[in-house]
Amino acid sequence: MTTNLAIIQMDIAYGDPAVNRRQARTHIKEAVAKGGEVILLPEMWTTGYDLSRFDEIAETLDGPTHQLLAELAENHQVTIASSIAEREGEDFYNTFVVYDKNGECCMKYRKAHLFRLMDEEKYLKSGDQQGNFQLGETPVAGVICYDIRFPEWIRTHMLEGARGLFVVAEWPKSRVAHWRNLLISRAIENQCFVIACNRVGADPNNEFGGHSIVVDPWGTVVGEAGENEEILMVEVDFSRVEAIREQIPIFQDRRPDLYK
């Protein structure tokens, strides 16, 4: 059985959640019209990296963005995954949230590795829980941008059974070669699908690289966007993971007596 992915590679209005929510509503409806069943948006798509104004623009997980995503997921019977700027009390997080077909938030993952080059550690708290979740019958995981540079963190999710890795990002154009190679490497070494959504456009500090991408468990790029706004549609069959893991059984051949 296959799954139709819709990856919304969009620009982000800096520090303007209302504009971004309007844009996202339009893009999500377009993705549904194209047959998308699982819809992915970029990292912190409601705010961008306007971190110094998070006291004003971040929101609790029952705020207007939660209401929008829950409404669209339930009305269109789709799964919607992305990260948003979360406020909890006086603390702020970069939080991956997944809304299922019932409009329920079925997963919350707070970015574990804060990215210093974009000042995350000055404004955000890091998370310490994994991002595993069920996509129907398929165990998968979600992580955020800089997290993909930590193969041991990704492997931790795979050891819980994940067959697919969803990645949301605001990854600058200057390092887009790292973006592609890291994602392809995570797919090969974990024999899983990697489904990654980057933003496009620019903010006062960075120009972003697009190249949202889907990589299969063999490391083959099965879909890739360019450098402009687009909805990347890719159909995947998660059952291909088992065949590849039988062909080269890395999870059976691991040596936990030597390493974790």
Ligand X SMILES: NC(=O)CCC(=O)C(=O)O
- Active-site annotation holds for 111: yes
DSSP symbol at 249: -
* 131 touching ligand X, by CB under 6 A: no
- Tell which one of 170, 196, 201, 232 touches ligand X (CB under 6 A): 170
What's the CA gap between 173 and 156, in Å, rounded? 28
Smallest distance, Å, CB 63 to ligand X?
A: 22
Tally the C-alpha atoms within 13 A of residue 111's C-alpha that lie toward its C-beta.
30
Handedness of CA 43, 102, 108, 53 (dihedral sign): positive
* Residues in Cβ contact with 44 at an 8 Å cutoff, skipping those fewer than 6 apart: 12, 83, 84, 85, 94, 170
User: Exposed (0-12), middle (13-18) or buried (19+): which is 192, by Cβ within 10 Å?
Assistant: buried
CB of 205 to ligand X, least distance (A): 11
Query: Which tokens go with 132?
Result: 């595993």
- Please, what is the minimum distance in Å from the beta carbon of residue 174 to ligand X? 9
Q: Find the part of the chain contacting ligand X (CB under 6 A) among 6-14, 75-83, 142-150, 249-257.
A: 142-150
Instruction: Give residues with Cβ within 8 angstroms of 249, minimum separation 6.
Output: none
Toward ligand X, which CB reaches closer, 179 or 238? 179
What is the three-class DSSP state of 167?
A: strand
* Residue 172 is a binding residue for ligand X (CB under 6 A): yes
Q: Is 170 a known active-site residue? A: no
Binding mask 42-71 for ligand X (x = CB under 6 A): -x----------------------------
Stretch that binds ligand X, among 4-12, 71-79, 151-159, 163-171 (CB under 6 A): 163-171
Examine the residue annotation and report whether 43 is marked as an active-site residue of this protein.
Answer: yes
With CB under 6 A as the contact rule, the residue among 28, 107, 145, 183 that binds ligand X is 145
Catalytic residue among 120, 145, 192, 197: 145
Interaction between residue 109 and ligand X (CB under 6 A): no
Q: Which of 43, 86, 120, 170 is catalytic?
A: 43
The interface mask with ligand X, positions 175-194, x = CB under 6 A, is: x--x----------------
Question: With contact defined as beta carbons under 8 Å apart, do 231 and 30 qualify?
Answer: yes
Q: Could you give the CA distance from residue 51 to residue 58 in angstroms, rounded to a whole number?
A: 9
User: Which residues are at the interface with ligand X (CB under 6 A)?
Assistant: 43, 115, 118, 145-146, 149, 169-172, 175, 178
Active-site residues, by number, are: 43, 111, 145
